[in-house]
Amino acid sequence: MNQHPAIPPGLLRMWREILGGILLFTVACTAGESEGSPDIDYSTGTHLVLLGTGTPNADPDRSGPAVAVVVNGVPYLVDAGPGVVRRAAAAHSMGVEGLRVSNLGHVFITHLHSDHTLGLPDLIFTPWVLERDRPLELFGPTGSRAMVDHIQAAYAGDIGARLDGLEPANPDGYKVNVHEIEPGLIYQDENVKVTALRVTHGSWEDAFAYRFESADRVIVISGDAVPSEAIVEHCAGCDVLVHEVYSQAGFERRDPVWQRYHSSSHTSSVQLAELASRARPQLLVLYHQLFWGTTEEELLAEVKAGYDGAVVSGNDLDVY
Ligand SMILES: [Zn+2]
Ligand SMILES: [Zn+2]
């Protein structure tokens, strides 16, 4: 139904094209790549999709930590925070075809804190229900196998009902091939080389950052970590560094008991500015932001006070 009978359809179409052009230009200038633009071909090249930028705080706008590196349409996930599968489905409906839920076949876990792994049962079972027909390939620290074994045991009833009941289910999609890793090159295929970097994160014996190298980009993702030389060395002018951060001003308002924990486990805005100045990424993306009352703009300003490179504060479903 034409709502504007007085305006010729050709003129309307022209206006729409002009407005669309302005919008796309604005998005391209501010957000690197945009949020799921239909004009970007996500089936080739390397695209970074922030699925969850949250922390243990149950922020409804920030799902638990999870990042997707999509290379030639194949998704490689880092971490499985709560909400990971729903966010992948949202990215898919935004136009990132590779994040179709049944395509979620590889995940690289940084460490076994609950905020990074509560989405693991979801990532194991939901894609299977939606017809992923091969096992999930999981790379992670020592302890990953025990965690997966316990999840499989907890859901034995569901697995049995789907395999032996009336629901059509394939025989392999719920399985997980667990690869417990050491630092170094841990995975390679026709799309990516993935290197695990050991980082320090409080009392965790095993915590990793990951470096993804594809034909067109190098992306480093910190996971949870204090400032780490391995990240500086392996970014070394990389295309994108996705790094966790907490607000220095917020930190100063925290209880001393929590200050002791955070300073031994995470990276402050001041420390991140210093680290990024040496790692020199083309783009620094903040994620896993701990604000503690600081606004997003103030957090960015804290980083920019000591760092003159390009930096953005990431939000769920941003694409870079
Ligand atoms: Zn965390
Ligand atoms: Zn952690």
pLDDT digits over 59-94, tens only?
999 999 999 999 999 999 999 999 999 999 999 999
Distances (CA, A) of 75 to 31, 192, 208, 212: 21, 11, 19, 12
Matching residue, tokens 């980009």? 217
- Predicted confidence at residue 167, as pLDDT, reads 87
Kindly give the distance from the C-alpha atom of residue 111 to the centroid of ligand 2, in angstroms, as a whole number.
7
**282 domain residue, yes or no:** yes
pLDDT at 10: 44
Mean pLDDT for 253-264 is 96
**Separation of 79 CA from ligand 1 center, angstroms?**
10
pLDDT of residue 36: 56
Q: Is pLDDT of 30 > 90?
A: no
Tell me which ligand sits closest to the C-alpha of residue 141.
Answer: 2
Answer yes or no: is 203 within a domain.
yes
Question: 234 pLDDT exceeds 50?
Answer: yes
Residue 39 located in a structural domain? no
What does the mean pLDDT of the chain come to? Answer: 91
User: What's the confidence (pLDDT) of residue 40?
Assistant: 87
Ligand 1 mean position, distance from CA 118 (Å): 11
Assess if residue 37 is contained within a domain. Answer: no
Mean pLDDT of 130-144: 98
Nearest CA to 266 out of 254, 279, 281 is that of 254
- pLDDT-based confidence at residue 39 (cuts at 50, 70, 90): confident
CA-CA distance, 195 to 184, in Å (whole number)?
5
Tally the residues of the chain: 320
Residue 257 has a pLDDT of: 95
pLDDT at 23: 40
- Cα 157 to ligand 1 centroid, rounded to whole Å: 30
Percent of the chain beyond pLDDT 90? 87
Any domain includes 1: no
Residue 78's DSSP bridge partners are 67, 108
- Ligand 1 center to 54 CA (angstroms): 8
- pLDDT higher than threshold 80 for residue 27: no
* Digit-coded pLDDT (tens) for 184-229: 999 999 999 999 999 999 999 999 999 999 999 999 999 999 999 9
Beta-sheet pairing, 136-140 with 106-108: parallel
Asked if pLDDT for residue 7 goes beyond 90, the answer is no
Q: According to the model, what pLDDT value does residue 164 have? A: 95
Domain that holds residue 162: 49-313
| Cα of 287 from ligand 2 centre, angstroms | 13
Mean pLDDT, range 135-150, rounded to an integer: 98
CA 145 / ligand 1 centre spacing (Å) = 20
Give the pLDDT confidence of 279-311 residue by residue, as tens digits. 999 999 999 999 999 999 999 999 999 999 999
Among all bound ligands, the one having the nearest atom to the CA of 65 is 1
Q: Look at strands 74-78 and 106-108 and give their pairing.
A: parallel
pTM: 0.89
Confidence at residue 34, expressed as pLDDT on a 0 to 100 scale:
52
- Cα 116 to Cα 199: distance, rounded to the nearest angstrom: 15
The conformation of residue 238, written as its DSSP 8-state character, comes to -
Quick one: pLDDT at residue 168?
Answer: 87
**Active-site annotation, residues:** 115
Q: How confident is the model at residue 37 (pLDDT cuts 50, 70, 90)?
A: low
**9 lies in a domain?**
no
Say if 17 falls within a structural domain.
no
Instruction: Give SS3 for 87.
Output: helix
Residue 190's domain is classified under what CATH number? 3.60.15.10
Phi and psi at residue 233, in whole multiples of 5°?
Answer: -65, -40
Residues 6+ apart with CB under 8 A from 18: none
How many angstroms separate the first and last alpha carbons of the chain?
38
- The whole-number pLDDT of residue 11 equals 44
Which ligand has the shortest distance to the CA of 55?
1
Residue 14: inside a domain, yes or no?
no
Query: What's the number of domains the chain is made of?
Result: 1
Q: Count CB neighbours of 31 within 10 A.
A: 16
| Beta-bridge mates of residue 12 | none
Q: Name the closest ligand to CA 116.
A: 1
